[in-house]
Amino acid sequence: MPVGTHGVVRGISMDEVAAAGGQMVLANAYHLYLRPGDMMVRALGGLHAFTRWNGPMLTDSGGFQVFSLSKLRTVSEDGVEFQSHIDGSTHQYTPESVMRIERNLGADVMMQLDELIQGRSDISAARSAMERSLRWLQRCKVEFDRISHEGRAPIPDFTVPADAPALACDDAAPEQALFPIVQGGTHATLRKASMTGILESGDWAGVAIGGLSVGETKSDTYAMLEVCDPILPRNVPRYLMGVGFPDDLVEGVQRGIDLFDCVAPTRMGRDGTAFTPDGKMQIRQSSYRTDRRPLVEGCDCPCCTHYDRAYLRHLFVSEEMLGKRLLALHNVSFLIGVMTSAREALRGGTFDSWSGAWLARYRGGE
């Protein structure tokens, strides 16, 4: 899932995401709650209408942003109080309020509120956060079930210019799904306990694995995925949150993951770094000054079919926004292409040989 933090995949249009083969987009409840506000998004027709993304969408609960962006936060059993990174104003997230926010936003998949810890936390901190996340999941589910059946809250009375057309707002309850999040740090026993708690408490349309890719080693990440793989149900999608780079996707799929999200493709692209089958390349390098080849030969994205490396380098050296836009689009297209190839290899029964060759080539070039 390309990440559209503010309801936009940074630098590229939803049409371009769709043309690149993107099937699902993530948006961020924390950012949209603060700006323009979840009730505002709802009044503007919900996230799909607001952002012009016609496919499936998922909203992250905002828990991760509260822990990573806000300067002051206080976590209690009730929820988390935090200060906005924009204006310092104080806000309260509870499992219940997050469900209402995500319902207002109207994405197809809502994530539970969970408690996050550092990647290398000791087992007692990890257990405490995992257990609280399970209790918060129960509260999320109760509120989710309540508001799914109750219909939506009334639309607030926005001050609308006299000559603006009436706001359309569909009050029929949309089909939304709630995903639980497996926590437990890098401790296999805690991950197992988290999954037991989750699977005993409901039939879920999908399950996420959180708290990885937050500072722990790659081998710890893979070990945790291997703990989860045999336990999680095989008939619902498994979503590895906040991951990742091209090789992370291949390693994740190898361990049973279906869905990923990461800001890396757009963030790296803005910085002039492109994903290629031979590892990352930094287009500002002077060796590309006279290089008339496409960024990635054989890539069918608009960046690679229209432009050469010499011009793309020139755009970055000249600080032209088109460069950021084109490399972001290439990187998003590249990750979608990796997943497409992985699916084909899985269907064809050739995943192991495909992934081995793919990883060897990618890492050989790094």
Catalytic residues: 60, 261
- Distance between start and end Cα atoms, the chain: 24
Which amino acid, one-letter code, is at 95? P
Interface with a second copy, residue 55, by CB under 8 A:
no
Main-chain phi, psi angles of 290, to 5 degrees: -115, 20
In order, the DSSP letters of 81-123 are EEE-TTT--EEEE-HHHHHHHHHHHT-SEEEPP-----TT--H
Q: Which helix (H) or strand (E) holds 282?
A: strand 279-282
Residue closer to a second copy, measured from CB, 278 or 352: 278
Angle between helix 123-150 and helix 95-105 axes, rounded to 10 deg: 50
Residues 14 and 57: their CA atoms lie apart, in Å, by: 12
Residue closer to a second copy, measured from CB, 7 or 252: 7
What would the x/- binding string for a second copy be over residues 299 to 318, using CB under 8 A?
-------xxx-xx--xx-xx
Tokens describing residue 259: 């869905």
What would the x/- binding string for a second copy be over residues 15 to 34, using CB under 8 A?
x---------------x---
**How many residues touch a second copy (CB under 8 A)?**
46
Tokens describing residue 163: 């000559």
Residues 303 and 131: their CA atoms lie apart, in Å, by: 46
**Which listed residue (19, 21, 23, 45) binds a second copy by CB under 8 A?**
45
Shortest separation between residue 80's beta carbon and a second copy, angstroms? 23
Residue closer to a second copy, measured from CB, 146 or 292: 292
Main-chain phi, psi angles of 105, to 5 degrees: -65, -40
Beta strands 80-83 and 181-182 are unpaired
Interface with a second copy, residue 290, by CB under 8 A:
yes
Interface with a second copy, residue 7, by CB under 8 A:
yes
Residue closer to a second copy, measured from CB, 242 or 294: 294
Interface with a second copy, residue 348, by CB under 8 A:
no
Are the beta carbons of 34 and 86 closer than 8 angstroms? yes
Interface with a second copy, residue 291, by CB under 8 A:
yes
Residue closer to a second copy, measured from CB, 56 or 302: 302
Q: Between residue 126 and residue 165, which ones bind a second copy under the rule CB under 8 A?
A: 158-161, 164-165
**Which listed residue (13, 97, 118, 273) binds a second copy by CB under 8 A?**
13
- Contact residues for a second copy (CB under 8 A)? 6-8, 10-13, 15, 31, 35-36, 40, 43-45, 50-52, 158-161, 164-165, 167-168, 287, 289-293, 306-308, 310-311, 314-315, 317-318, 320-322, 324-325
